[in-house]
Amino acid sequence: MESKRYNWPVTILLIFGTIFILFPLYITVVNAFKTPQETAQSILALPSSFNIDNFLRAIEMTNFFNALGNSLYVTLLTVVLTVLSNSLVAYAIARNMHKKTYRVLFYYFVSAMFVPFPIIMLPIVNQMSAIGLMNLNGLVLLYIVYGLAFNVFLYTGYIKTIPKELEEAAIVDGCSRWGVFWRIIFPILAPINATVAILTALWAWNDFLLPLVILGDRADHTLPLVQYVFQSQFGTNYNLAFSSYLMALLPMLLLYIFLQRWIISGVTQGAIKS
């Protein structure tokens, strides 16, 4: 801590490098406020006024609040149910890894990480439509189930490090196995729950392929899917398109600005454990 000398050349190079990261966002923000004439004159210039007409039109055209509601519904429900259910499954596996059946189950779930989605894609659409689940709830169900592969892996690694003595003492005191999980284990899992919640939220919020094949009804479309569907209707009105993109990106960006420390460490933890 004694040497307070910063490495300025590296700092400056890194600041310079952020131009490449921020440039696409800059283009999005400034052009979302401009008229097509202003953009035709200069793509990079700041807008002459903060005109929100593009946003109002995009909100109306894409039914933005409906899509936002769908995305929020899917993401929140998926995150809550994934954390509750996947941790429970992993607990049961982690505490029985000495038994062959549970070890086989562990590898069964985890090996699904290597299965690329396209092999599932064609049959799952038929299957979901046969049972009438081509909707938001069906989508949530699939996220929870597909999340098991990675989350069981993540959770079991963590649960193995929790000493069993605590649980055994509670069992002796007459607590059931379920009680042990919800009252003792689940609260201890808080850090890894946060990691799973962050990874799941990013996945469910930004995912495009699964909503594309599962959501039939237009009223069910999520934010990324709406951008895709309206791409041709935006046509060459890039300003309208940019205001729509910006509104779709904004919720996650705002969340990131406030929670970036937790989001970065959550994603890092998730990756390192693998």
Partner 1 sequence: MNGFQTTKRRGGVPSPSSSNRLTMRKPSAYAVMILPALILFFSFHTLPVLQGIFYSFTDYRGFGDWNFVGFQNYISIFNDSRAYNAYFFTFQFAIVSTVLVNIISLIIALGLNAKIKFHKTLRAVYFMPNILSILIVGFIFNFIFAVYIPGIADSLGITALTTSILGSRDYAWIAIVIVAVWQAAAFNTILYLAGLSTISQDLYEASSLDGANKWQEFWKITFPLIAPFFTINMVLAMKNFLMVFDHIVAMTGGGPGRATQSISLLIYQDGFAGGQFALQSANAVIYFVIIVTVSIFQIRILQKREVQM
List binders of partner 1 among 71-130 (CB under 8 A). 85-86, 88-89, 91-93, 95-96, 102, 105, 109, 112, 114-127
Q: Which is nearer to partner 1, 69 or 88 (CB)?
A: 88
Sequence-separated contacts (24+) of 125-133 with Cβ below 8 Å: 125/213, 125/214, 128/214, 129/216, 133/214
Site for partner 1 in 156-175 (CB under 8 A): 164-165, 168-169, 171-172, 174
Alpha helices, H only, 215-237: 223-234
Q: Are 91 and 155 in contact (CB under 8 A)?
A: yes
Does the protein bind partner 1 through residue 148 (CB under 8 A)? yes
**In the stretch 174-193, what mask flags binding to partner 1 with x, by CB under 8 A?**
x-xxx--x------------
**14, 45, 46, 52: which one contacts partner 1 (CB under 8 A)?**
14
Site for partner 1 in 17-76 (CB under 8 A): 17-18, 20-22, 24, 27-28, 43
**1, 6, 130, 161: which one contacts partner 1 (CB under 8 A)?**
6
The CA dihedral of 74, 75, 80, 85, to the nearest 10 degrees, is 70
- By the 10 Å C-beta count (0-12 exposed, 13-18 middle, 19+ buried), 66 is classed as middle
Does the protein bind partner 1 through residue 132 (CB under 8 A)? no
Which residue, 218, 77, 226, 187, is CA-closest to 137? 77
CB of 52 to partner 1, least distance (A): 20
Query: How many C-beta atoms lie closer than 10 Å to residue 222's C-beta?
Result: 28
Please work out, in degrees rounded to the nearest 5, the angle formed at the alpha carbon of residue 223 by the alpha carbons of 217 and 225. Answer: 55
Does the protein bind partner 1 through residue 248 (CB under 8 A)? yes
Does the protein bind partner 1 through residue 15 (CB under 8 A)? yes
Buried b (16+ CB within 10 A) or exposed e, 238-261: bbbbbbbbbbbbeebeebeeeeee
Of the candidate spans 62-70, 76-84, 186-194, 243-251, the one that interacts with partner 1 by CB under 8 A turns out to be: 243-251
Q: Which is nearer to partner 1, 220 or 246 (CB)?
A: 246
Does the protein bind partner 1 through residue 264 (CB under 8 A)? yes
Element at 219 (helix H, strand E): none
CB of 122 to partner 1, least distance (A): 5
CB of 13 to partner 1, least distance (A): 6
Does the protein bind partner 1 through residue 2 (CB under 8 A)? no
CB of 27 to partner 1, least distance (A): 7
CB of 190 to partner 1, least distance (A): 19
Please work out, in degrees rounded to the nearest 5, the angle formed at the alpha carbon of residue 213 by the alpha carbons of 114 and 150. Answer: 25
| CA–CA distance, 101 with 22 (Å, rounded to integer) | 50
